[in-house]
């Protein structure tokens, strides 16, 4: 794949595609197109690097290497060997292959992975390892085999600064998309009154400061044959940070969560823009200055009994917000419509449910409260 224009797939959770599309388009990527589970753009390796470095909402970035029709294994063997693997994979870097099949004559994903592995071993001579940081993906759908490289490596919500996490942290990628769905663009203050490890607050501060989400981590593409370390360093070194007087607030009734959030914000380099304090939701007050967004994901309980027990908490939250936060918008992420309704807040039509930690959660948003 010496070509400089190929399909680049930015993955997200189903339901989030239009929000990710908006972000990708806003960041100037070419021809973004919504597909199930993500957004496809066109470009070359600089766009692949940039997508990993810049895009907050994508879970990973795949670069398409080749696609061909294959209805039997001999065909897959022959065509997989024709791919210019040596232009992207290094003989000294271990790789692994993950395959999936749907609606195709080739339906055994293990056998497909094995054939692609053999082809790469034959062409490049790279060692195979299940634990390899370089992963080739083979997707056979309706008899078309698409071969891609996972250019991210570790999922992109791992921004590289978060050491401390609480029980149910929200992925940074997801938090950024919920923020965007609430119309947050970094130009207003924010409060998360159940901040846990500080995910919403830190993402918001980074957006306001125009910090690149991938600035503090490594990516799988650094191990590729065509990686140009000097060009990458230049791209990474472009200073995007802007100063702002806005502050991003988090509170939690748990002292451990507050300490964790503070430490995470410091490590992310936004400690000076964030304010964390220990408080129960019943004690929160709007921060001084302009009005902005209150966003949170309260506990939602997994069993029926837990859910009922949470109604008073949601009701109290709603009362506090309605009585003290006039002019602020609210975004609540929860798994239970019934709990959201218990707040008594005037919600706009809810967003689509999105998967989160084995369940589905929905964003309930309001316009500015009266
Ligand atoms: C689901 S977690 C939030 C996770 C967070 N968004 C993150 O990414 O780490 C819910 C948080 O609400 C806090 N909490 C529960 N009840 C509270 C209350 N009455 N007042 C303030 N915080 C509360 C818990 O301590 C917990 O940290």
**Distance from residue 195's CA to the centre of ligand 1 (Å):** 6
- Cα-based distances in Å from 40 to 36, 43, 149: 10, 10, 14
Position 161 scores a pLDDT of 78
**DSSP assignment of 286-311, as one string?**
PPSSS--EEEE-----SSHHHHHHHH
- Percentages of the chain per state (helix, strand, coil), in multiples of 5: 35, 25, 45
| DSSP conformation class of 58 | -
Position 213 scores a pLDDT of 97
Characterize the bridge pairing of strands 329-334 and 33-35: unpaired
Give the span between the Cα atoms of 331 and 297, in whole angstroms.
9
Helix (H) or strand (E) holding 10: strand 6-11
**Which residue from 252, 281, 311 has its CB within 8 A of the most atoms of ligand 1, so it is best to mutate?**
252
Predicted TM-score of the model (pTM): 0.95
Position 2 scores a pLDDT of 46
**Distance from residue 359's CA to the centre of ligand 1 (Å):** 18
- Cα-based distances in Å from 247 to 17, 80, 173, 314: 29, 53, 21, 26
**Distance from residue 194's CA to the centre of ligand 1 (Å):** 4
Report CA torsion sign: 142, 143, 145, 150. Answer: positive
| DSSP conformation class of 283 | G
- Name the stretches of the chain with pLDDT < 50: 2
Q: What are phi and psi of 10, to 5 degrees?
A: -105, 115
The answer to whether the CB of 56 falls within 8 A of the CB of 214 is no
Which residue's CA is minimally distant from atom 3 of ligand 1?
Answer: 196
Position 306 scores a pLDDT of 81
**Distance from residue 248's CA to the centre of ligand 1 (Å):** 17
**Reading across the β-sheet that carries 38-43, which strands appear in turn?**
33-35, 38-43, 6-11, 60-69, 144-150, 134-141, 95-102
3-state SS of 199-246 is HHHHHHHHHHCCCCCCCCCCCHHHHCCCCCHHHHHHHHHCCCCCCCCC
Ligand 1 pocket at CB < 6 A: 166, 168-170, 194, 196-197, 199-200, 252-254, 257, 280-281, 297-299, 313
Position 167 scores a pLDDT of 66
**Distance from residue 242's CA to the centre of ligand 1 (Å):** 30
């Amino acid at each position: 794949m010496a070509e400089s224009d190929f399909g680049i797939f930015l993955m997200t959770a189903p339901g989030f595609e239009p929000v990710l599309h908006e972000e990708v388009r806003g960041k100037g990527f070419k021809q973004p197109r919504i597909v199930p589970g993500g957004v496809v753009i066109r470009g070359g390796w600089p766009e692949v690097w940039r997508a990993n470095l810049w895009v907050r909402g994508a879970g990973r970035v795949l670069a398409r290497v080749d696609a061909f029709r294959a209805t039997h294994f001999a065909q897959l063997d022959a065509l997989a060997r024709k791919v210019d693997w040596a232009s992207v994979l290094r003989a000294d870097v271990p790789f692994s292959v993950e395959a999936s099949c749907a609606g195709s004559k080739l339906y055994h994903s293990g056998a497909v992975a094995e054939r692609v592995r053999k082809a790469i071993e034959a062409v490049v001579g790279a060692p195979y390892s299940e634990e390899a940081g370089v992963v080739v993906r083979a997707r056979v759908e309706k008899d078309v085999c698409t071969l891609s490289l996972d250019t991210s490596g570790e999922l992109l919500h791992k921004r590289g600064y978060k050491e401390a996490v609480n029980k149910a942290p929200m992925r940074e990628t997801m938090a950024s998309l919920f923020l965007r769905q609430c119309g947050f663009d970094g130009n207003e203050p924010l409060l998360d009154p159940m901040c846990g490890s500080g995910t919403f607050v830190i993402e918001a501060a980074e957006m306001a400061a125009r910090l690149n989400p991938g600035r503090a981590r490594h990516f799988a593409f650094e191990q590729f044959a065509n990686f140009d370390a000097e060009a990458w360093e230049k791209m990474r070194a472009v200073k995007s940070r802007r100063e702002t007087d806005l502050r991003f607030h988090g509170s939690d009734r748990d002292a451990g969560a507050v300490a964790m959030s503070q430490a995470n914000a410091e490590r992310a380099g936004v400690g000076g823009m964030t304010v964390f304090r220990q408080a129960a939701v019943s004690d929160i007050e709007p921060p001084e200055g302009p009005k902005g967004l209150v966003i949170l994901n309260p506990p939602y309980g997994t069993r029926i009994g837990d859910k009922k027990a949470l109604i008073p908490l949601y009701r109290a939250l709603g009362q506090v917000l309605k009585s003290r936060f006039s002019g602020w918008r609210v975004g609540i992420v929860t798994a239970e419509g019934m709990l959201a309704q218990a707040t008594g807040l005037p919600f706009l039509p809810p967003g689509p449910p999105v998967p989160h930690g084995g369940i589905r959660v929905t964003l309930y948003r309001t316009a500015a409260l009266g």
